[in-house]
Structures are given as C-alpha cells and as structure tokens.
Amino acid sequence: MELRRIQNASVEDKTVLVRVDYNVPMSEGSVGDDTRLRASLPMLGNLLERGAKIVLMTHLGRPEGRVVEELRLGPVGASLGSLLGKPVVCLEDCVGSNVAEAVKAGASGEIFLLENTRFHREEVLNEAGFARQLADLADVFVNDAFATLHRSHASTLGVTDHLPSYAGLLVQKELAALAPLLGEPARPYVAVIGGKKAKSKLGPLRDLVSQVDVVLLGGGVAFTFLAALDARVGGSIVDAAVFDEILEIKAIAEERETQIVLPVDCLAAEQLSADAPTRIFEADAVDDGWMGLDIGPRTIEQFREQIFEAQTIVWTGPMGAFEIAPFDAGTRAIGEAIAKSDGYSVIGGGETGEAAVRFGIDADVSFISTGGGACLALLQGKPLPALDVLIDA
C-alpha cells in the first residue's frame, strides 16, 4: 500500500486542513474521555514543528443536519488547548465568509477548530459545494481520523477532490498495527464479539467466520444468537428480525469449520440496576422476567481457555452491561485474559476501548484501535473510500 504520507508533504507557512476524530463522550458539558484528543497530538505536534497553520474539522454525535447546542465543539477545543498548552480558536461554523476570513487572518502556528461538520446535512451527503468550501480554507489536506475512513463524507472524501491529500500519523499507525490481522495471521485466530445490538455486529460476524478459527459471542449478540436457535432467554436483549441471518452465519461457520462458542451460563437480574438481586442461569434457560446482563463464571472460564490458546485475537463489543457492577465481571475477565495472552491482540475501539481503559488493561494489549467501524471494515476486506483516495495508483 503506497500511502501518500504527510511526512512527505511541504507544509511550512501553509494552511493544513486536518480531519480528526473528536467524536468524544461528553459529560455535563465537558469532555468525558480525551483518548481521541490525545491520539491526535503527534500529528498536531508534527505540523506545528514544521511551521503550519492548522484548521481542524470533526463531527460530534449525530445532529442530523441541525445545530444542537449540546454538540457544539467549544468544550472539545478547550480540552485540546489544555493538552497542547496553547489556545485553540473555536470558530462559529465550519463554512462561510466569517470562517474563511478568520482562518486567512491567522498566522503560522495557530490552531483553528471548525464547528461540528454534521450541523450541515451536506456533510454526510458529500455535497460537492460544501466540500469545496471546506477545501478552500487550506492548501493541504491530511486525514488523521482513522475512525472515519469508511465514510464517504465531505470532510473525509469530498475535500480530496480539491487539495493535495495525505494520510496522517494516526492513520499510518492504525494501518501498521492492523496489518498482522490481514493476509496470513498467526493461528489460532480468535474473534471475541459482544455488544448490545446484534444487527450491527452480524455483518462483521458473517465475514469473520470465514477468516478466524474461533468466535466467542457475548452480550446481546449472544442472546439473539441463542434465541434464534430456540433457546429460552427470558427478557434478555434479542433482535428477532435477524434470526434468519444468524442461521445463515451458523451455516457458513459450519461449512468453514469455524467454531462459534456461545455462553453456557449468564448472570441475570430482573432489572438493570446495581442493587438488583442477581441469579446465575443456564444461558439457554433464563426464566421469564429475568434478563441476562453478563456472561457467567463457566462461560468466562471457557472463553479464557480459548483466548490463552490464541496467537491472534480481535475483540469488539463488551460481554455485558459493563458500565454497572456486578455486570462488569465478564468484560473485565475477558479483557484481563486478552491482556495476559501471548497472542497479538487488537481491540476494536468504541466502548470496548473504553472498557479496556476502565479496567486498566489498555497498556497490556497489543493495540487499541480508535475506530471500531473502520477497524472491522478493514478486517472484513470492505472498501474504505476515504483511505483509497490517499493511496497512489
């Protein structure tokens, strides 16, 4: 892959438009987790050292083309300024004459943060005129938002029609870290897949069962899978609309001789509350009125055995409602097993990455991706439109 790398671009005394991923958790008007801000610091430091003026653009949340006050980027800019030790100028919009004039008047070494790009519906539509307005702010474009590479948006793809475009340091780091999972990964290759919504994981699961040796299922994905196989799962989260697809995936796994390991027991409660009484059930025999909220102790041991035998591991999605004890035990145990494993391990960003940080294992896994969707798309062999345009033919 012959990437056009930002290290090879001339940026001195130029304005560089940088697509970053600052879609961060917010808590009471402040940044709740600055991991993604910190991930961008090497790229920003590189550009500052080389005498560039920086214009940052990102989305936050899903405002769907409307201005949503709670999704303004002022708090993000303030947090970023604290990390950098220098001011970040937060602009009132991401396009328009006032924005263009402010950027033009800035000096080399200044950093501007455009307002949430998704306040404009033209962003997700990759509308040509909107992309041109963004591009007109700068001389060079660098995409350092790995998590958005699977998106064909104006700020990720459209701007590349108008500016010399390069891959940023974080994008390069992510691609290098994920390379061992592509081609001929070391085996056994184990995928750990969880999360609340089965529908969002079935596409990746369908492709991964053709690539890995073992799949360990937890969370709502597992309960939906069990329910599709006529198990009794009580009030556990289930998406009945995907039962047919699950049966198709099961058939593919059997044909490929890929082992799908389902929970054998689960920790359940009548409601999701730290104070709720809990019971251990067989995973396929949960009483009505009870919901499975975590994998159980026997499942944890089975999953640990598979993980310790693995040479390559990818993990996306928690095993249960990890935000609330005691339903965090499964996710914690699986994370700790992956951290102790001798295999090459990749965590696929999002809430799985947040769990790794919460449980203090982030330094002990091989790599935590900043982009769950983009990471899975890459591992599935899916197109990454915003990456493809940064590759020399």
Active site residues: 36, 197, 350, 373
Question: Cα-flanking dihedrals φ and ψ of residue 43, to 5°?
Answer: -65, -45
Question: Nearest 5 degrees, angle CA 52-CA 53-CA 56?
Answer: 115
The span from the first CA to the last CA of the chain, in angstroms, equals 9
Q: What DSSP line would sit under 50-70, residue for residue?
A: TT-EEEEE---S--TTS--GG
Taken in order 275, 279, 285, 288, is the CA torsion positive or negative? negative
C-alpha pair distances (Å), 267 with each of 216, 224, 260, 373: 17, 16, 20, 28
Give the pairing type, strands 291-295 and 312-316. unpaired
C-alpha pair distances (Å), 108 with each of 6, 38, 105, 137: 17, 22, 10, 14
Count CA atoms closer than 13 A to 270's CA, side-chain side.
4
227: buried, middle or exposed (CB in 10 Å: 19+, 13-18, 0-12)? buried
Please count the other Cβ atoms lying within 10 Å of the Cβ belonging to residue 46: 17
- Cα separation, 18 vs 144, in Å, equals 7
